[in-house]
Amino acid sequence: MPRTRREMSASLRASSPEANAAHGAAFIPRRAPSGSSAGAIRHHYDVAPSFYRLWLGEGLVYSGALWAERDTLDDAQRRKLDHHVAESSAAGKRRVLDIGCGWGALLARLVGHHGVQEAVGLTLSPSQADWIARRHDPRVDVRLESWADHRPTEPYDAIISIGAFEHFAKTEDDDGQKVASYAEFFQKCRDWLRPDGRLSLQTFAYGSARRREAGLSSEATKFLEEQIFPETDPPRLANIAEAIEGTFEIVRLRNDRLDYARTCREWLDRLKAHRAEAAIEVGEETVAKYERYLTYSYIGFRTGRLDLYRITLAPVPKAWTPT
């Protein structure tokens, strides 16, 4: 079970937003200025890690993997993390930011395997932040903070964000509001990056097999919105393309939706195989809900109603102004 916030804040580093809060600085917004609220994120991600471990595997990586034919789930998740490290040129760098760091698999990989000196992770889930802080790795700085409130004191050499962008807009947002939220995110990333840095982004999105309107009104989407990911609506590729205008250029773009289908299949098989243990952790009703969610997700990625984008982005230099 997650410990109390007071216990947790003691385990976070002095530079953390929890510590900042003691000095009157805002730390967790009641609602992020755009996208899912902290409460909505907690709804999904503050479920006991012991439940997630039963089906996500030891690495607790909760996003589409990158599969080679003979990979196990753990191999494919590592391959995915390493893909983003390579695309963002993060290896051997001094400071790297992970936006939506989950239970810290990428942070650990950056400092433990890729020689990064300092890895900063942002999450809105106290349970996840606590999980990472308990490792006491001095090279890792986890912050219970939205990207919208992040104020780095130094630039980053690379930024990676895997499976967080999906939460940056809400179902009731129209395209204009979504693009505005995404544009704000990209602008911040551009401002935080060194000019030769890269942003490696992974997000699922509405695919082109069905118009968003049809997807939004489907029973499966309603179930996911109401039961699994409140206040969350994924982007369309056009939203992302529009939102980067003036801040980033696309270096590479891949749609690996079948990789996500295979990942969902693997998660579903594991959850079914551990159904009894999972029910002890979270109750039978929640387990049934997750099986349904993973089945719908599998079908979505398999049929192209959902895509999985891995996008490598280079910052557009800011306009020179004479001083």
Using CB under 8 A, list all residues that contact another protein: 218-220, 223, 261, 265, 268, 292, 295-296, 298-300, 302-303, 305
- Judged by CB, which is closer to another protein: 177, or 303? 303
- Judged by CB, which is closer to another protein: 150, or 292? 292
For residue 126, the tally of other CB atoms under 10 A from its CB is 23
- Judged by CB, which is closer to another protein: 53, or 265? 265
In angstroms, the CA 90 to CA 237 distance is: 25
- Judged by CB, which is closer to another protein: 174, or 219? 219
Closest separation in Å from C-beta 276 to another protein:
15
- Judged by CB, which is closer to another protein: 35, or 300? 300
Maximum pairwise Cα distance, the chain? 67
Closest separation in Å from C-beta 297 to another protein:
9
Is 126 in contact with 112 (CB distance < 8 Å)?
no
Closest separation in Å from C-beta 265 to another protein:
6
Closest separation in Å from C-beta 14 to another protein:
47
**CA-to-CA separations, 175 to 158, 171, 178, 212, 310, in angstroms, rounded:** 28, 10, 5, 11, 21
Closest separation in Å from C-beta 218 to another protein:
5
- Judged by CB, which is closer to another protein: 31, or 275? 275
Phi and psi (nearest 5°) for 31? -145, 130
Concatenated DSSP letters of 184-248? HHHHHHHHHEEEEEEEEEEEEEE-TTS-HHHHHTSHHHHHIIIIISTT-----HHHHHHHTTTTE
* One-letter amino acid for residue 156 of the chain: Y
Name the nearest CA neighbour of 124 among 32, 189, 61, 227: 32
In angstroms, the CA 234 to CA 244 distance is: 16
Closest separation in Å from C-beta 214 to another protein:
9
